[in-house]
Amino acid sequence: MYLPKSFRQITVTFMKPLTEQEIRAAFVNCTKGEAKRLSVPRDLAERPWGDLDYLGWRDPQAPDRAYLVAELDGGPKALALRGSAGAVGQARRSMCSMCLTTHSGGVSLMVAPKAGRAGQQGNSVGAYLCSDLACSLYVRGLRDAGIGARLPETITLEEKIGRTVANLAAFVARVTG
Ligand SMILES: [Zn+2]
């Protein structure tokens, strides 16, 4: 399979555990007030940080609201997203644009308002993501998406992780750019 060189050049760094305060301060595409009020998981200490390229979660009170935080360019960056609570076409197989896992009905279109003035003017960017925001676990084989979920590839796990991080960084750049 063709793999652009840039994927191979990404050094994979493991996420350091983040605190609620660090996560709230990392949001780039919502107001400070929204970042203060939005739902952050209470079980941060129990999250498998060493196996995560990003931490993603949904608001249990409002499942169409999703969030993710990733360690990029030396600092955490968090995004507020809107995603359908259900999945794209229930029985249809779709592929996550981040980790390239194919699910039957487990991929959602997530829309992020752009950062700054562009976002205030209503501009947003979208991406198809694993509905449960668990890309990191699918890439590492720690969560199973079923038969045929992952294409047989000859690249290493590190390269798959590097590719996921590159896709994630590109998405964050589209939101902040
Ligand atoms: Zn994914």
Mean pLDDT for back-to-back runs of 10 residues, the chain (177 residues): 50 81 97 97 96 96 95 90 67 87 89 95 95 95 85 90 95 95
pLDDT of residue 133: 96
Residue 110 CA to ligand 1 center (angstroms) comes to 11
C-alpha span between 107 and 109 (Å, rounded):
7
Residue 40 CA to ligand 1 center (angstroms) comes to 20
Residue 139 CA to ligand 1 center (angstroms) comes to 8
pLDDT of residue 152: 82
pLDDT of residue 11: 55
C-alpha span between 56 and 146 (Å, rounded):
21
For residue 22, which of 66, 60, 64, 70 has the smallest C-alpha distance? Answer: 70
pLDDT of residue 56: 97
Strand order through the sheet with 107-113: 54-59, 62-72, 75-83, 107-113, 124-130
C-alpha span between 25 and 34 (Å, rounded):
11
pLDDT of residue 86: 55
Residue 123 CA to ligand 1 center (angstroms) comes to 24
pTM: predicted TM-score of the whole model, two decimal places? 0.88
pLDDT of residue 85: 59
pLDDT of residue 7: 54
